A and B are shown apart, each in its own frame.
Chain A
Amino acid sequence: MTDKVIYAMYDDDDVTKEACQSLVDNGVHVADVFSPFPIHGIDPIIGIKHTRLGIAAFMYGITGLLLAIIATRYFMVSDWHGINIGGKPNFSYLENIPSFVPILFEFTVLCAAHGMALTYFLRNKTLPGMPARNPDPRTTDDRFVVEVRLAENSNFSLDQLNDMIKETGIVEIDEKTIK
């Protein structure tokens, strides 16, 4: 199934946001916006769901904490039982827990941060080496592109969409057929 896609290019984030607002107000569904930096407040306008990355980060953090607890307990209490560091022999995990808190904290953060970064890249298909998915390389520089798909806007003809978009302060407009 082939589909027509319109790429409208802007040179200012506020103009992009206003354009999206006016398109959405006219009943157009905006598929996506490509931008070199996050545009605050655009998510609710084009109807992007709230990210679940935070929940994932929490899970990674808990995993890291558990791993660190198991590891420190094994290394410092079970395996090398009673090793005396600074006059505080490790006979009991609970009594020595203050000395393990830094590593528990660090490992929690390490797992949460790395897990979150990898998930983010994976979910966006932007892992190193993956093909770029933005329609125009300039969206990584100083341009903003709004993507509108014909199939998602069956109420409008291609010309109607083009006319509406042209009224929004674009600097370029491009049309592509994708499969």
Chain B
Amino acid sequence: MEFQISNKAKKVTIGLMGVGLLLLIVGFFFQKEYMFPTVLSDHEVYVEYWGDQVEKEADVKKEAEEAMAALGYELDFGDEGEEHEVHGHNAAEEHGDAHSEEAHAHQAPTFEWHIHIKHLEVEGEHVAHSVGHGHDAAPSETLAHMFSNGDIAMSDSHFRRFWSNLLVNGFFFFGIALGALFYLSLHYATESGWGVVLLRIMEAIMSALPLGMIVLAIVFIGATLGLNHIYPWMDSDVVAHDDLIWGKVAYLNKPFFWIRIICYFGVFAYFMNWFRKTSRKQDSEDVEKATASHFLMYRRGALFLVFFAVFSSTMSWDIIMSIDTHWFSTLFGWYSFSGIWLSAMIMIMMVTLYLKHKGNLEFVNSAHIHDVGKWMFALSFLWSYLWFSQFMLIWYSNIPEEVIYFVTRIESYKFIFFAMFVVNFVLPMIFLMSADTKKSWPYLIFIGLVIFIGHWFDVFCMVMPGTLYEEWNFGLLEIGMFMTFLGTFIFLVLRSLGKSSLVQNNHPFLEESKHHHG
């Protein structure tokens, strides 16, 4: 019952990391900072920019001019004085803002343009006519579209997409490892017998916990040092001007945040290591000692569940919910926990099927696979139930500071947000309802992989609207980083599987598990 990571698996996972890293590096240089257009009339667009890269204004102007010239239009970026009159700003104040340190202080845009669009006169009328599609929409709409979907934009000097993706992937893969640890301790605490032959797989998955913890720690350190602005409450300027955040300072402040994070990571890492060590020690013990070890793990399992019950909630508040600092939901902890648990269950299923396929798990029969399939089915419902409960209550009560969460998501992330929910809810419901499909490998692999990706998008929708607003994108950076993390994670799991026997020979319930039937 030994397993060694095969050369092929090594090549595939390292290849995944390598290709992912390559895509990630390419994607890294395509991060954008948007400018926000308002269409005033068919030939007038108002554009504002809130970032701090004033020096690039001329470059972007040129870019916009070239893009519109290709369509047969000429742009007049209203002159400064006129613009200020139009919007009633004090010119001096505006000027001061743009050049001060607090360019992002949320009072006025760094710069704003009042663009008048004219037909290009150089070659006479036929220039405009020769470019047919310029006439389909009003030129101002065309220009506004270029700004709002990022065709004309600044490059992002804060690398927000990179940091946000780091948080998404860090949390997702941290969650999978944590979910496996949770399920393992649940298995011990409830003295379950059926899954004993799967415990080593859970151990291997949870041993990849440091990957997520290190990445999350990097994000938190970056946030604390001001390298990224993922957590608005870490910015003392923002807090000083924001009553709602000011009211939460007792909980959301840097020292207490770090105390909590160190508590979570310390407790999780301690239990992860302890369970692995004890179960390996148990392998070489005699019956009496092994039984004593089992009862010790039974008590520690229950103890971990107590910590996990509190930490899983507060952890999701700290890491994810505090991104949208104004917003709060009492269901959020459960909602993100159900996603974590489900992703972990899918990972357990996939690793089990892989090892079974390789012929390494002689004691795993179709009843074990059926049971993990039942978990995937049931947890999909738990997740959908909690997702909908959160959505429906907030939608119904319609309180501004609550409903803003869904307004952002529906305005800017509509497709991903609803498609993700439908896929994660309907697909398992239809295809995993029958007992036969829950035992069928092709079904389990297909549905499992689709909802695995679906739950990655769930985390994407938790994080991105709070960090990138409408400036999100899905491209090489996202795909590359996901591939890198997936490759690393699977590599760590498979390597860890090779470090011990795949069966816990001295587990008191091993016989029960071997004879498990549906």
Contact = CB atoms under 8 A, between A and B. Distances in A.
A41 interface: yes
A102 B433 contact: no
Contacts of A54: 435
A48 to B, nearest CB: 13
Interface in B376-417: 388, 391-392, 395-398
A99 B391 CA distance: 11
Interface string B420-444: 0000000000000101000000000
A99 B433 contact: no
Given A54-B435, A87-B398, A99 B392 contact: yes
A98 B435 contact: no
Contacts of A98: 388, 391-392, 395-396
A102 B396 CA distance: 12
Given A86-B396, A98-B396, 8 more contacts: A41-B515, A50-B435, A54-B435, A58-B433, A86-B397, A98-B388, A98-B392, A98-B395
Contact of A88 (B391, B396, B433, B435): B396
B392 A101 contact: yes
B135 interface: no
Nearest to A99: B396
23 contacts: A40-B517, A41-B515, A41-B517, A44-B517, A50-B435, A54-B435, A58-B433, A86-B396, A86-B397, A86-B398, A87-B398, A88-B396, A88-B398, A98-B388, A98-B391, A98-B392, A98-B395, A98-B396, A99-B392, A99-B396, A101-B388, A101-B392, A102-B392
Interface string A33-74: 000000011001000001000100010000000000000000
7 nearest interchain CB pairs?
A41-B517, A98-B392, A98-B395, A86-B396, A99-B396, A87-B398, A101-B392
Interface string A72-112: 00000000000000111000000000110110000000000
Nearest to B397: A86
Nearest to B517: A41
Q: Which of B391, B396, B398 has the most CB of A within 10 A?
A: B396
Nearest to A97: B392
Contacts of B433: 58
A40 B433 CA distance: 22
Interface of B: 388, 391-392, 395-398, 433, 435, 515, 517
A17 B429 CA distance: 35
Nearest to A55: B434
A107 to B, nearest CB: 16
A101 B387 CA distance: 13
A41 B392 CA distance: 42
A44 B367 CA distance: 13
Contacts of A101: 388, 392
Nearest to A40: B517
Contacts of A86: 396-398
Contacts of B395: 98
A168 to B, nearest CB: 20
A101 B425 CA distance: 14
Contacts of B396: 86, 88, 98-99
A24 B517 CA distance: 19
B373 to A, nearest CB: 15
A53 B357 CA distance: 33
A86 B399 CA distance: 11
B225 to A, nearest CB: 42
B63 to A, nearest CB: 41
A101 B397 CA distance: 15
Contacts of B388: 98, 101
Nearest to A100: B392
Interface string A136-149: 00000000000000
Nearest to B398: A87
A37 B398 CA distance: 50
A64 to B, nearest CB: 15
B224 to A, nearest CB: 39
A58 to B, nearest CB: 7
A23 B397 CA distance: 65
Interface string A100-129: 011000000000000000000000000000
A87 B398 CA distance: 9
Contacts of A102: 392
B426 to A, nearest CB: 14
B22 to A, nearest CB: 43
A165 B453 CA distance: 56
Nearest to B393: A98
Contacts of A99: 392, 396
Nearest to B436: A50
A40 B396 CA distance: 46
A86 B398 CA distance: 9
Contacts of B517: 40-41, 44
A99 B515 CA distance: 47
Nearest to A85: B396
A145 to B, nearest CB: 22
